[in-house]
A and B are shown apart, each in its own frame.
Chain A
């Protein structure tokens, strides 16, 4: 079974091809956000280098967010279009789960944090138990200070990954002290092979997902706008 997975939910664009249990190719750029120009050539390059025709792909997997609205739309539209043209299935993977899967079977807690603008992050909390990754705090959008005070109540070491780390690492370190841990750089950004890994688990367990973006919240401007519209009714 061949599986093509992508993640364009952040600045990172990442594409991976799985053949059965083997990762046969992965291509990641973590430079500028121009997925609309880079994603298709990346997919083409990866497939050509792996001597694989699009028609040979059995399943597509895509990171559903939360994250960049533009990035999510590009990624999901691309995978949905390829799958529809080839009459194949798409598996959707929440971005936070895919990020946490970067730290397979690690001891302690995993806290992916994705930039949600201002002092907000998209986050969740994961823990590995008997080889399964368990979500022990639901996916949510939360103020960084509130997240820190919630995490203080835990006793375990907490590994942070994700693009909001750059902005908040000093807040987290000050707030959490010895609990705060950051893995090496290769684990910090989305990786399409992790998306593929989570997608395979969902396939094996027969978990179906809707292929719609997880925006997780309305932007502040949308909320204001809706308030205004309601007020004028």
Chain B
């Protein structure tokens, strides 16, 4: 695991936007962190990096929003998932193994059905504005991306 400290929202967004420029078709980004940590903010900035023109909002009630960018962005928020059936009814496999980038908020709630490889991002609240962002890549590809994000 590698971590970086940011002192304000702007610094968090810079990292997320950079990630949006680095990701490729088929990538899966898992976001975890407490309410208010900045998961949605992170994905909004990631969307800008991906070239998404629409305004990104949290899909807490719809579970998923799709956006057109350089490659499609599939934004999941699985906070309200009670049963894995709901993911199956959503046809999650076509997203996870499809041709876009999946960004999944509260990914820890659906760990059983995540693909083998993904980039795991945890945002920790360290102060009113400051955050610690930690990255775990499950394979070399994601570890390399994490490495690039840590470079200033």
Residue on A nearest B91 in the bound complex, by CB: A70
Which residues of chain B are within 8 angstroms of A225 by Cβ–Cβ distance? Answer: 82-84
CB-contacts of B95-113 with A (<8 A): 97-99, 110, 112-113
- A51 contacts partner chain B, Cβ-Cβ < 8 Å: no
Cβ of A222 and Cβ of B99 under 8 Å apart?
A: no
- B69 contacts partner chain A, Cβ-Cβ < 8 Å: no
CB-contacts of A64-101 with B (<8 A): 68-71, 73-74
Cβ of A219 and Cβ of B112 under 8 Å apart?
A: yes
**Complexed CA–CA distance, A220 and B84 (Å):** 9
Pick the residue among B25, B85, B92, B110 that contacts A70 (CB under 8 A): B92
Tell whether A34 pairs with B84 under 8 Å between CB atoms, given A70-B93, A71-B93.
Answer: no
Residue on A nearest B116 in the bound complex, by CB: A167
The bracket for how many chain A residues form the interface is 10 to 19
- A33 contacts partner chain B, Cβ-Cβ < 8 Å: yes
Cβ of B93 and Cβ of A222 under 8 Å apart?
A: no
Residue on A nearest B87 in the bound complex, by CB: A221
- B144 contacts partner chain A, Cβ-Cβ < 8 Å: no
- B26 contacts partner chain A, Cβ-Cβ < 8 Å: yes
Query: How many residues of B are in contact with the other chain, CB < 8 A?
Result: 18
**Complexed CA–CA distance, A167 and B97 (Å):** 15
Cβ of B113 and Cβ of A117 under 8 Å apart?
A: yes
Cβ of A70 and Cβ of B83 under 8 Å apart?
A: no
CB-contacts of A174-233 with B (<8 A): 219-222, 225
Cβ of B94 and Cβ of A33 under 8 Å apart?
A: yes
- A36 contacts partner chain B, Cβ-Cβ < 8 Å: yes
- A146 contacts partner chain B, Cβ-Cβ < 8 Å: no
Which residues of chain A are within 8 angstroms of B112 by Cβ–Cβ distance? Answer: 117, 219-221
Cβ of A70 and Cβ of B94 under 8 Å apart?
A: yes
CB-contacts of A116-132 with B (<8 A): 117
Cβ of A221 and Cβ of B83 under 8 Å apart?
A: yes
Residue on B nearest A32 in the bound complex, by CB: B99
- B88 contacts partner chain A, Cβ-Cβ < 8 Å: yes
Cβ of B84 and Cβ of A36 under 8 Å apart?
A: no
Cβ of B84 and Cβ of A32 under 8 Å apart?
A: no
**Complexed CA–CA distance, A174 and B92 (Å):** 34
Question: 6 closest pairs, A vs B, by CB?
Answer: A221-B84, A33-B97, A70-B93, A70-B91, A221-B112, A32-B99
Provide 15 A-B residue pairs closer than 8 Å at the C-beta atoms, listed in order of the A residue. A11-B97, A32-B97, A33-B97, A34-B94, A34-B98, A34-B99, A69-B88, A69-B93, A70-B92, A70-B94, A219-B112, A220-B112, A221-B110, A221-B112, A222-B83
- Please name 4 further chain A to chain B contacts, defined as beta carbons within 8 Å, in addition to the given A70-B91, A222-B84, sorted by A numbering: A70-B93, A219-B84, A221-B84, A222-B85
